[in-house]
Amino acid sequence: MVHRGYYGEFGGSFIPEVLFSSIEELADVFGQAREDPGFRAEYENILSTYSCRPTPLTFAENLTRYFGSARIYIKREDLNHTGAHKLNNVMGQGLLAKRMRKPRVIAETGAGQHGVATATMAARFGLQCTIYMGMVDMARQRPNVFWMERLGAEVVPVRDGTRLLKDAINEALRDWITNMDTTHYVLGTACGPHPFPEMVAWFQSIIGREAREQIMKYEGRLPTRVYACVGGGSNALGIFNAFFNDPVALVGVEAGGQGLYTGKHAARLSSRDGAVGVAHGYKGCFLQDRDGQMKQTHSVAAGLDYVGVSPVLASLKCKGRVRFEAATDEEVLKAFSLVVRKEGLVPALESAHAFAQAFKELPDLCGHDIILINQSGRGDKDIFTIADAFGDPGWQAFIKERAAEYDA
Ligand SMILES: *Cc1c(COP(=O)(O)O)cnc(C)c1O
């Protein structure tokens, strides 16, 4: 069991014995579904009729002119239903839950986006739904909590630990152990025990397949570099996947937070603070102290604020196939403003990390180069954080009040 699902030295399946049969069942059902053309057709059909696939590839004409360097293309995952790439994964897992005849789904969520996507899928497929969310994240992402509840999900506040995503993951795992006969755990990113990393990456690979076809149609050649932000790693693997065998540079951008030297970041692969360890069901690279305790992470983007990262990406770093960089909160907010003003696009703060790193590197490139940036989601959900960052005192008071509500 533990030997399956390894990517180099990373991955595996480190779970309590009681979960073995559930994980085994999931791996089998996914294995069969992946080979079944009927399943693939059903999956693609629901994404094109219910979400917005294929999502467009937008030529960023104004940014291209502004930088006077490479031609800039943006893959528009923000146009998916519920506003991010998350739905690609969640609808796929929903179809698998139905195949396994499980009437209930649970999920953990950080930014709230995965919770909203899961609650949406559950409503559509008629499944019961429970979402675990850290209390700090609940305060930061109030609108997402509101919508999950309207969609019929039960949102359980997690008061343990740092009250962030990693604490919500522990709670969700506890629930799964208790209710595994009736419940499928919809993991939100390419992490966790096998088969989750492979399965989530497979569902997200639709992003790269489309993007590759689109850029070949528009430009007749491949991009020089592809940029994606890296939280758990699912949108990055989704777009990178189509270019692994091509001479295309792949750049994963992590949360540099307040700076790599402050310790307040979530740069697991791009800083020296990440170390190999086992947590949340897999062997990977985690931000931890010398005793192996998980560190606090920091990012202006809740969706990148996670101590671990996909074992698939950790392995691709070791192989030298993907380069990892970090963008600081400040760089990200600047890049965000530039994208809004120049293109009228509103990227999520997570996605703005990919833009920030691309903008830093544009001076190294020339007019013959093409870059592709994955806009993983839209920024509407970040309204409070952005207003706060740009120093609007009215909003600051509003946010403090909301946070106090959840602490009560
Ligand atoms: C959740 C989220 C991310 C981070 O998750 P990955 O698995 O790394 O893709 C990035 N962007 C947006 C918009 C998100 O909602």
Q: Give residue-wise pLDDT tens across range 193-248.
A: 999 999 999 999 999 999 999 999 999 999 999 999 999 999 999 999 999 999 99
- Predicted pLDDT at 243: 98
pLDDT in tens, 185-194: 999 999 999 9
From the CA of 189, give the closest atom in ligand 1.
7
CA 384 to CA 396: how far, in whole Å? 8
Q: Which two tokens stand for residue 370?
A: 């093409």
* Residue among 118, 177, 184 nearest 151 (CA): 118
Helix (H, G, I), strand (E, B) or coil at 228: strand
Buried b (16+ CB within 10 A) or exposed e, 109-147: bbbbbbbbbbbbbbeebebebbbbbbbbbbbbbbebbeb
pLDDT average, residue stretch 250-276: 96
Indicate if ligand 1 lies below 6 Å from the C-beta of 230. Answer: yes
Instruction: Give residue 17 CA to ligand 1 midpoint distance, Å.
Output: 30
Any residues with CB less than 8 A from the CB of 346 and at least 6 apart, and which? 78, 339, 340, 378, 379, 380
Q: What is the pTM of this model?
A: 0.94
Indicate if ligand 1 lies below 6 Å from the C-beta of 308. Answer: no
In a mutational test of the pocket of ligand 1, which residue from 74, 80, 81, 113 has the highest number of ligand atoms less than 8 Å from its CB? 113
By residue count, the chain amounts to 408
- What angle, 0 to 180 degrees and rounded to 10, lies between the N-to-C axes of helices 311-318 and 196-204? 80
Domains of the chain: 14-48+85-200 (3.40.50.1100), 53-83+205-407 (3.40.50.1100)
pLDDT at position 38 over 60: yes
Indicate if ligand 1 lies below 6 Å from the C-beta of 347. Answer: no
> The tokens 């917005």 sit on which residue?
52
pLDDT at position 408 over 70: no
Indicate if ligand 1 lies below 6 Å from the C-beta of 197. Answer: no
In a mutational test of the pocket of ligand 1, which residue from 350, 355, 374 has the highest number of ligand atoms less than 8 Å from its CB? 350
CA 94 to CA 79: how far, in whole Å? 20
In a mutational test of the pocket of ligand 1, which residue from 76, 79, 85, 269 has the highest number of ligand atoms less than 8 Å from its CB? 85
Q: How far is CA 153 from CA 131, 159, 208, in A?
A: 7, 19, 31
From the CA of 110, give the closest atom in ligand 1.
1
- Torsion from C-alpha of 162, 118, 302, 76, nearest 10 degrees: 170
Instruction: Give residue 18 CA to ligand 1 midpoint distance, Å.
Output: 30
Helix (H) or strand (E) holding 165: helix 165-179
Indicate if ligand 1 lies below 6 Å from the C-beta of 113. Answer: yes
Indicate if ligand 1 lies below 6 Å from the C-beta of 175. Answer: no
Helix (H, G, I), strand (E, B) or coil at 389: helix
What is the number of other CB atoms lying within 10 angstroms of the CB of residue 359?
A: 23
- What angle, 0 to 180 degrees and rounded to 10, lies between the N-to-C axes of helices 196-204 and 20-35? 30
- Which residue has a Cα nearest atom 7 of ligand 1? 234
Instruction: Give residue 230 CA to ligand 1 midpoint distance, Å.
Output: 7
Mean confidence (pLDDT) of the chain: 93
* Residue among 343, 344, 164, 318 nearest 255 (CA): 164
Q: Which two tokens stand for residue 329?
A: 């909160």
* Cis peptide leading into residue 195 (ω within 30°): yes
Indicate if ligand 1 lies below 6 Å from the C-beta of 229. Answer: yes
* CA-based max dimension of the chain: 58
Confidence band of 3 (pLDDT split at 50, 70, 90) = low
- Predicted pLDDT at 4: 77
Indicate if ligand 1 lies below 6 Å from the C-beta of 184. Answer: no
CA atoms within 13 A on the CB side of 135: 14
Q: Which two tokens stand for residue 223?
A: 């991009």
pLDDT in tens, 67-126: 999 999 999 999 999 999 999 999 999 999 999 999 999 999 987 889 999 999 999 999
Instruction: Give residue 306 CA to ligand 1 midpoint distance, Å.
Output: 11
* Residue among 29, 19, 398 nearest 199 (CA): 29
CA 374 to CA 241: how far, in whole Å? 13
CA 250 to CA 231: how far, in whole Å? 16
Indicate if ligand 1 lies below 6 Å from the C-beta of 284. Answer: no
Confidence band of 407 (pLDDT split at 50, 70, 90) = low
Buried b (16+ CB within 10 A) or exposed e, 206-219: bbbebbbebbeeee
From the CA of 351, give the closest atom in ligand 1.
11
* Cis peptide leading into residue 193 (ω within 30°): no
